[in-house]
C-alpha cells in the first residue's frame, strides 16, 4: 500500500512545447488533490507521468510505502489506477465482461467486481453490451473498476463530467471512503470535487 | 500467470468476435479456390502445381489483413493504458494478443488449408505437412504482424507502414515452407525446409514480444 507520492521539480514537454515546469506536489495517505488549469495546461500529461506512462522532461515522481520506497514499476503494476477520458471499454462486450476483466487484471476478484457493480448502481446494466450504455452509465462502469480492485492511488481525469447530480454525490461518497481508508486521489477537474481537496494549479 | 490467462481469454473472445474463427477461414479460402481458376486458367495440372503455394499466399495475406489493427484499437480506446498498468509487463501483453490472434484466425486458416489445396487438386499425401507448415507459419505471421502493428502505432497511414515493415519478415517463412512442400511433393529432401521454418517461427515468437513491448511503451509516451 502506498503512503506517499512525491512529485519533485517536474517538467513536461510535448513535442516542442513546454507544458509546465518546476511542479512540486506531495500527496500523503488520506489526501486528495484537485488539478486545475486551463485546457491544454498539462493536467492529463501530469496524471500520465505519475502513472509512469509518460517520461517527464525533468524531475521525478517517487512512491513510498509503509516500509520504505517503492519502485515506480511496482507502483504502476500494483498500486495505482489511472482513469482517463478513454475508458478502455470495448463496445462489443457486455458490461459485466468488461468490469470482470478490469477487476481481475488490476488485482481484484469476481466478488469485488460484483460488489462494485452494486455500489455504482450497475447491477441492472451488467448484461448489456457497452455500446448500449449512455455516456453517464459508461463512466460509472469505468469508475466501478476503482472500487473493484484495491489500489491506493487513484489518478482521475475529469472523472465526473458525464455524471448527473445524484451520481456525483454517490461517487463523492466512494471517494471519501477511499480517503478514509488511507487512499490517495489526484484528479484533474473543472468543477470542484465533492470532497475536501487541495487545489493545485497546473501550467500557471 | 493468472492475469495472463485472464487477458488471453479476453483477447481470444475479442479476436473471435471481430471476424475471426473458422467461418472467416473457410470463407477466405472459398474465395481463393473460386477465384484462382478464373484468374490462372483451369488446367488441373497447373492448379495442382500451384495449390500449396497459393495456400501460403492466402495465409500471409489473411494475417496482414487482420493484424494491421491489432494494437491500434487498444491504443485509441485507452485499453493500452489499462494493460500497461496491469501485473504483467507489456511484453507478456503482446504475447497474449498475438497468441489469441493466431488461435482465433491463424489456426483455423491452417486447418482449412488442406481443404482448399485438395479442391485445387493437390496431392493427398502432402496434406499433413501442409497443415504443419501452415500452423508454424501462421504463428510466425501472427507475431511478426504484431510487431509491424506495434511499430506503426500512432503513425499516420499505419496500414501502409505495417505492410512495408512486415513484407521482408514474411518472406523467409514463405520460402522455407514452400521449399519443404515442393521437396516433399517431388520426392526430394524436405526436412531442411521444415526445420528452418520451425526455427524461424521459434525465433519470431521469442524475440518479437521484446520489440512489441518497447514499441507500445514508446507509443504511450
How do residues B165-175 score in pLDDT, each as one tens digit?
888 999 999 99
For residues A88-124, one letter each, b for 16 or more C-beta atoms within 10 angstroms of the residue's C-beta and e for the rest, the string is: bbbeebbbbbbbbbbbbbbbbeeebbbbbbebbebee
CA distance B160 to chain A (A): 24
Kindly determine whether residue A85 and residue B14, on different chains, have CB atoms separated by under 8 Å.
no
Whole-angstrom distance, CA of residue B175 vs CA of residue B78 = 38
| Chain B contact set for A57 (CB, 8 A) | none
Kindly determine whether residue B84 and residue A80, on different chains, have CB atoms separated by under 8 Å.
no
Substitution target from A47, A53, A72, A93 for chain B, most B beta carbons within 10 A? A53
Nearest CA in chain A to B82: A88
Question: What's residue B69's pLDDT?
Answer: 76
DSSP state of B102: I
A 10 A CB-CB count for A181 gives 12
Whole-angstrom distance, CA of residue B111 vs CA of residue B114 = 7
C-alpha cell at B42: 483451369
* A72-85 tens-digit pLDDT: 888 888 899 999 88
Q: Which of A16-30, A40-54, B117-131, B196-210 has the lowest mean pLDDT?
A: B117-131
Q: Which residues pair with B153 in a beta bridge?
A: none
Nearest alpha-carbon partner for B73 in A178, A93, A62, A115: A93
Kindly determine whether residue A80 and residue B82, on different chains, have CB atoms separated by under 8 Å.
no
Q: Give ipTM to 2 decimals.
A: 0.90
pTM beyond cutoff 0.95: no
Rounded to a whole number of angstroms, the CA Rg of chain A reads: 17
Kindly determine whether residue B18 and residue A82, on different chains, have CB atoms separated by under 8 Å.
no
CA distance A150 to chain B (A): 13
Kindly determine whether residue B84 and residue A76, on different chains, have CB atoms separated by under 8 Å.
yes
Kindly determine whether residue B13 and residue A97, on different chains, have CB atoms separated by under 8 Å.
yes
* pLDDT of residue A126 exceeding 80: yes
Chain A residues within 8 Å of chain B (Cβ atoms): 48, 51, 53-55, 76-78, 80-82, 84-90, 92-93, 97, 101-102, 104-107
Question: What's residue A204's pLDDT?
Answer: 65
Average predicted confidence (pLDDT) for chain B: 87
Rounded to a whole number of angstroms, the CA Rg of chain B reads: 18
- Residues 6 or more apart whose CB falls under 8 angstroms from that of A2 comprise A29, A63, A64, A65, A70, A75, A79, A80, A152, A153, A184
Kindly determine whether residue B10 and residue A101, on different chains, have CB atoms separated by under 8 Å.
yes
* A87-111 tens-digit pLDDT: 889 888 999 999 999 999 998 899 9
CA distance A177 to chain B (A): 23
DSSP state of B85: T
Q: Is the dihedral of CA B213, B216, B218, B221 positive or negative?
A: negative
* B42-95 tens-digit pLDDT: 788 888 878 877 888 888 887 777 777 788 888 888 899 999 998 999 999 999
From the list B6, B14, B81, the residue facing A88 with the nearest CB is: B81
- Structural domain boundaries of chain B? 2-220
Question: What's residue B19's pLDDT?
Answer: 62
Q: Mind spelling out the 3-state secondary structure of chain A?
A: CEEEEEEEEEEEEECCEEEEEEEEEEEECCCEEEEECCCCCCHHHHHHHHCCCCCCCEEEEEEEECCEEECHHHHHHHHEEEECCCCCCCCCCEHHHHHHHHHHHCCCCHHHHHHHHHHCCCHHHCCCEHHHCCHHHHHHHHHHHHHHCCCCEEEEECCCCCCCHHHHHHHHHHHHHHHHCCCEEEEECCCCCCCCCEEEECCC
From the list A80, A81, A87, the residue facing B78 with the nearest CB is: A87
Question: What's residue A144's pLDDT?
Answer: 93
Q: Are A50 and A5 in contact (CB under 8 A)?
A: yes
Whole-angstrom distance, CA of residue A19 vs CA of residue A39 = 11
* A141 — pLDDT class (breaks 50, 70, 90): very high
Look-up of cell digits 496482414: B64
CA distance B108 to chain A (A): 22
Kindly determine whether residue A54 and residue B87, on different chains, have CB atoms separated by under 8 Å.
no
Nearest CA in chain A to B1: A105
Kindly determine whether residue A82 and residue B3, on different chains, have CB atoms separated by under 8 Å.
no
Question: What's residue B162's pLDDT?
Answer: 82
From the list A82, A88, A105, the residue facing B6 with the nearest CB is: A105
C-alpha cell at A34: 484537485
Query: Alpha carbon of B94 to those of A1, B83, B148: distances in Å?
Result: 28, 10, 12
* A190 — pLDDT class (breaks 50, 70, 90): confident
Query: Alpha carbon of A116 to those of A50, A103, A123, A148, B145: distances in Å?
Result: 25, 9, 9, 5, 38
Phi, psi of A26 (to 5 degrees): -120, 125
In chain A, the percentage of residues whose pLDDT exceeds 90 is 59
Look-up of cell digits 495472463: B4
Amino acid at each position: 500500500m502506498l503512503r506517499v507520492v512525491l512529485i519533485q521539480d517536474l517538467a513536461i514537454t510535448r513535442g516542442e512545447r513546454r507544458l509546465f515546469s518546476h511542479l512540486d506536489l506531495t500527496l500523503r495517505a488520506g489526501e486528495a488533490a484537485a488539478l486545475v488549469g486551463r485546457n491544454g495546461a498539462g493536467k492529463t500529461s501530469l496524471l500520465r507521468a505519475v502513472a509512469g506512462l509518460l517520461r517527464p522532461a525533468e524531475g521525478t515522481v517517487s512512491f513510498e510505502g509503509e516500509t520504505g520506497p517503492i519502485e515506480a514499476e511496482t507502483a504502476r503494476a500494483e498500486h495505482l489506477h489511472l482513469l482517463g477520458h478513454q475508458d478502455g471499454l470495448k463496445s462489443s462486450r457486455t458490461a459485466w465482461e468488461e468490469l470482470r476483466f478490469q477487476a481481475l487484471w488490476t488485482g481484484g476478484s469476481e466478488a469485488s467486481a460484483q460488489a462494485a457493480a452494486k455500489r455504482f448502481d450497475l447491477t441492472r446494466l451488467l448484461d448489456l453490451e457497452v455500446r448500449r450504455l449512455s455516456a453517464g452509465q459508461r463512466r460509472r462502469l469505468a469508475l466501478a473498476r476503482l472500487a473493484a480492485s484495491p489500489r491506493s492511488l487513484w489518478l482521475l481525469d475529469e472523472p465526473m463530467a458525464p455524471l448527473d447530480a445524484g451520481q456525483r454525490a454517490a461517487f463523492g461518497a466512494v471517494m471519501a471512503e477511499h480517503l478514509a481508508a488511507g487512499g490517495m486521489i489526484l484528479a484533474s477537474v473543472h468543477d470542484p470535487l465533492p470532497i475536501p481537496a487541495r487545489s493545485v494549479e497546473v501550467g500557471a | 500467470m493468472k492475469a495472463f490467462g485472464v487477458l488471453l481469454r479476453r483477447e481470444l473472445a475479442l479476436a473471435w468476435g471481430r471476424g475471426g474463427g473458422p467461418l472467416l477461414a473457410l470463407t477466405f479460402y472459398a474465395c481463393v479456390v473460386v477465384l484462382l481458376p478464373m484468374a490462372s486458367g483451369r488446367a488441373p495440372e497447373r492448379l495442382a502445381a500451384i495449390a500449396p503455394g497459393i495456400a501460403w499466399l492466402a495465409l500471409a495475406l489473411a494475417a496482414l489483413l487482420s493484424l494491421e489493427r491489432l494494437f491500434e484499437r487498444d491504443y485509441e480506446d485507452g485499453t493500452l493504458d489499462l494493460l500497461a498498468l496491469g501485473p504483467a509487463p507489456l511484453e507478456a501483453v503482446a504475447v497474449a494478443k498475438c497468441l489469441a490472434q493466431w488461435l482465433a484466425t491463424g489456426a483455423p486458416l491452417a486447418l482449412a488449408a488442406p481443404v482448399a489445396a485438395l479442391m485445387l487438386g493437390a496431392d493427398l499425401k502432402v496434406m499433413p505437412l501442409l497443415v504443419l507448415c501452415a500452423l508454424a507459419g501462421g504463428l510466425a505471421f501472427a507475431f511478426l504482424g504484431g510487431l509491424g502493428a506495434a511499430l506503426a502505432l500512432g503513425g499516420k497511414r499505419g496500414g501502409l507502414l505495417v505492410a512495408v515493415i512486415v513484407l521482408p519478415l514474411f518472406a523467409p517463412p514463405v520460402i522455407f515452407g514452400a521449399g519443404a512442400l515442393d521437396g516433399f511433393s517431388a520426392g526430394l529432401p524436405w526436412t531442411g525446409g521444415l526445420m528452418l521454418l520451425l526455427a524461424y517461427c521459434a525465433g519470431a515468437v521469442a524475440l518479437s514480444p521484446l520489440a512489441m513491448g518497447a514499441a507500445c511503451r514508446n507509443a504511450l509516451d
